[in-house]
Copies of this chain bind each other. A is one copy, B any other.
Amino acid sequence: MTDAALIDELKTLVEPGKVLTDAADLETYGKDWTKHFAPAPSAIVFPRTVEQVQAIVRWANAHQVALVPSGGRTGLSAAAVAASGEVVVSFDYMNRILDFNPYDRTVVCQPGVVTEQLQNFAEEQGLYYPVDFASAGSSQIGGNIGTNAGGIKVIRYGMTRNWVAGLKVVTGKGDVLELNRDLIKNATGYDLRQLFIGAEGTLGFVVEATMRLERQPKNLTAMVLGTADFESIMPVLHAFQSKLDLTAFEFFSDKALAKVLARGDVPAPFESECPFYALLEFEATSEEIAENALALFEHCVEQGWVLDGVMSQSAQQLQNLWKLREYISETISHWTPYKNDISVTVSRVPAFLRDIDAIVEENYPDLEVVWFGHIGDGNLHLNILKPDDLDKDTFFARCARVNKWVFETVQKYNGSISAEHGVGMTKRDYLGYSRSEAEIAYMKAIKATFDPNGIMNPGKIFAL
């Protein structure tokens, strides 16, 4: 715990009223969407300027106070949880869009700009910010950069990393660095910008980000295809990807679909029931492209990969098909699912998924597994539903065992234990499944370079 005199000093660094210490505020701002760690920060501070952030970091260094950055608090790995008396630095008041340049198609954002705010701003300019995911309505740009957020359009647009033209950061030492000057081409030594993307605030805080925009997609059209088995999804992906520029290629299992259809507010895509479904999307900018897509569909049916399918003919139908995929997470939350966010290279997905299924089936035949994810980029969301008759503690105890098997299988397939949610505290102890000892040693040395006193989000990514 940070003592009262220190907190009084902290108050002098920001505007009046911008340090909170009430129990309710500590509870609210001390956590993200994870529930494993009880929030216990000493205070919440709300800077408004880069200079204030720098002053806070210098104060923290002088007094050895640990800082935790806080954005939209939608994280799923407890990277923004303050469980050990840290001071939370919230970027809620650094939430303005500072500049826009139509020739460069760049937007200068403060870190607290909400993802959706940037998406809407882009749309007002006739442009598009393509990183999109379930929590876009509350997640903040600073947090997106900290975890290199991905989402549902990565197959076409890549991760957040691709859209960061430049960064202003305050390092753990208190230096303000302007990284990359928003240039497209810049071969002047190490690209430090890249280090801060995905660093979960452990090297320093992002205090300004120049984000790139893209042209708006045109006439987006979706197909939902039912496949004979999971293996068939791969040649379908391959066939479509060879002939069309896909903007998405998602998948979900029959169990996932059944849960969504049971809600009663989304129509089934077609009558046939299939074990797996693929949702793909593309820009139907010409008659030829739409015809091409239908020919590919027919080819996949002839090959026996696809059993049934549908293509959207209107914006409304497009939206309905997407709901089948987008509603899954919210729908299954009713069953308190154990969730995992893992990835392997695309070609390894079928064997990997089969292995995990077999492990769960053999050990816990009573547990229901729901798969969905971004198969076009190898990112699978594994969800195990809690049976209604099983109490939460027993269920999570079992899942802890599953966790170990899942991560061992990830390691076997040379995959990632965290595809897009980050490491934070929840995956810290499993980092060795995805990164070698030597890599972790270099990462720690890099952290020590930028944050010699270890005040920047300590205990995240690496154990204390």
- A7-15, A47-55, A296-304, A434-442 - the one binding chain B: A434-442
Q: Which of A327-377 contact B (CB under 8 A)?
A: 343-347, 374, 377
A439 to chain B: which residues have CB within 8 Å? 177, 179, 189, 192
Instruction: Choose from B186, B195, B346 the contact partner of A194 (Cβ within 8 Å).
Output: B195
Is A463 an interface position by the 8 A CB rule?
A: no
Q: Is A344 a contact partner of B103 (Cβ separation < 8 A)?
A: no
Q: Is A189 a contact partner of B377 (Cβ separation < 8 A)?
A: no
Q: How far is the CB of A380 from chain B (nearest CB, A)?
A: 10
A344 to chain B: which residues have CB within 8 Å? 183
Q: Is B188 a contact partner of A442 (Cβ separation < 8 A)?
A: no
- A26-34, A59-67, A89-97, A146-154 - the one binding chain B: A146-154
A441 nearest CB neighbor, chain B only: B175
In Å, the complex CA distance between A423 and B442 comes to 24
In Å, the complex CA distance between A191 and B194 comes to 7
Given A184-B346, A242-B126, verify A189-B103 contact (CB < 8 Å).
no
Is A254 an interface position by the 8 A CB rule?
A: no
C-beta contact mask, A409-422 vs B, less than 8 Å → 1, else 0?
Answer: 00000111111111
In Å, the complex CA distance between A149 and B193 comes to 18
Given A101-B347, A415-B181, verify A189-B423 contact (CB < 8 Å).
yes
Given A103-B238, A190-B443, verify A378-B177 contact (CB < 8 Å).
no
Q: Is B416 a contact partner of A101 (Cβ separation < 8 A)?
A: no
In Å, the complex CA distance between A416 and B166 comes to 13
Is A384 an interface position by the 8 A CB rule?
A: no
Q: Is A434 a contact partner of B188 (Cβ separation < 8 A)?
A: yes
Q: Is A347 a contact partner of B104 (Cβ separation < 8 A)?
A: yes
In Å, the complex CA distance between A391 and B411 comes to 64
- A221-229, A398-406, A444-452 - the one binding chain B: A444-452
Given A195-B194, A347-B101, A442-B449, verify A423-B188 contact (CB < 8 Å).
yes
Q: Is A177 a contact partner of B442 (Cβ separation < 8 A)?
A: yes
Is A268 an interface position by the 8 A CB rule?
A: no
Is A197 an interface position by the 8 A CB rule?
A: yes
Q: Is A420 a contact partner of B187 (Cβ separation < 8 A)?
A: yes
Is A211 an interface position by the 8 A CB rule?
A: no
Given A378-B183, A442-B449, A449-B446, verify A188-B435 contact (CB < 8 Å).
yes
A450 to chain B: which residues have CB within 8 Å? 442
Q: Is B199 a contact partner of A185 (Cβ separation < 8 A)?
A: no
Instruction: Choose from B194, B343, B446, B449 the contact partner of A183 (Cβ within 8 Å).
Output: B343
A350 nearest CB neighbor, chain B only: B103
Given A104-B347, A182-B345, A449-B446, verify A187-B378 contact (CB < 8 Å).
no
Is A408 an interface position by the 8 A CB rule?
A: no
Is A234 an interface position by the 8 A CB rule?
A: yes
Q: How far is the CB of A376 from chain B (nearest CB, A)?
A: 8
A422 nearest CB neighbor, chain B only: B187
Is A25 an interface position by the 8 A CB rule?
A: no
A438 to chain B: which residues have CB within 8 Å? 175-177
Is A17 an interface position by the 8 A CB rule?
A: no
Q: How far is the CB of A211 from chain B (nearest CB, A)?
A: 14
| Top 4 A-B residue pairs of the complex, sorted by shortest distance between their CB atoms | A194-B194, A103-B347, A185-B419, A286-B286
Listed in ascending order, the chain A residues whose CB lies under 8 Å from chain B are 101-104, 106, 126, 147-148, 150, 154, 158-159, 161-162, 171, 175-179, 181-192, 194-195, 197-199, 203, 215, 234, 237-238, 241-242, 245, 285-286, 288-289, 343-347, 374, 377-379, 414-423, 427, 431, 434-436, 438-440, 442-443, 445-446, 449-450, 461
> What are 15 of the A-B contact pairs (CB < 8 Å)?
A103-B237, A103-B238, A147-B187, A148-B191, A177-B439, A181-B345, A183-B343, A183-B344, A185-B377, A185-B379, A189-B461, A190-B443, A191-B195, A215-B245, A285-B289
